[in-house]
Amino acid sequence: MDNLLLQISPNESLETVYYSFQTMKRTAYFLEFLIASMVFCACSAPVQKNENKKTFISTSIDTLGLLIKLDAHPPKKVIYQYTLYDNSAKSRLDFDGPSDVYLEAVLFYDTLPDVNSIGEEVDKENFEFAWLPADFLVLIDKKRIESVNDSVFSINSKYSVVKNAILLKVTWN
């Protein structure tokens, strides 16, 4: 009797031993269920960014002014695309992820402001906006003056200065 997992003392009743055995059995079933549930939840497909994508295009200078700093260099006209990838939890079993926000904007000026760029140069070809309507595309002079990564308009902003506009990209992750 020494090799039994459950030690039985001589003064315990058979009912007490049976109750202890049943309790251990229920606990084992509960643990199996819990492990199976955790494996099932962990193996479910993650939410793709494209499923929670929200995008809008606007020409409101006031709304754009809420997103980036326009006080120092107010534009005459703007058009921008705001994209939000909402990675927040959709149910109790989901995990919150960081939401990613992207802003692409074209700021039009009569006279270009001196933005005093001190940032590093970026690829000039990065500023081709596929979403831009044709009537706005005609307004942009394609000759690039400079393209930099700087925080003149916002943290994590990149902009390209052309003859009559500033092409801007901002990422918040």
* pLDDT tens track for 135-162: 877 777 666 666 666 667 777 777 777 7
* C-beta of residue 72 within 8 angstroms of C-beta of residue 95: no
Which residues is 171 bridged to in the sheet?
102
Q: For the segment 124-136, what is each residue's pLDDT rounded down to a tens digit? A: 557 778 888 888 7
Q: For the segment 69-105, what is each residue's pLDDT rounded down to a tens digit? A: 888 888 999 999 999 887 766 666 666 667 788 999 9
Residue listed under structure tokens 């700021």: 107
Q: Is 63 helix (H, G, I), strand (E, B) or coil?
A: helix
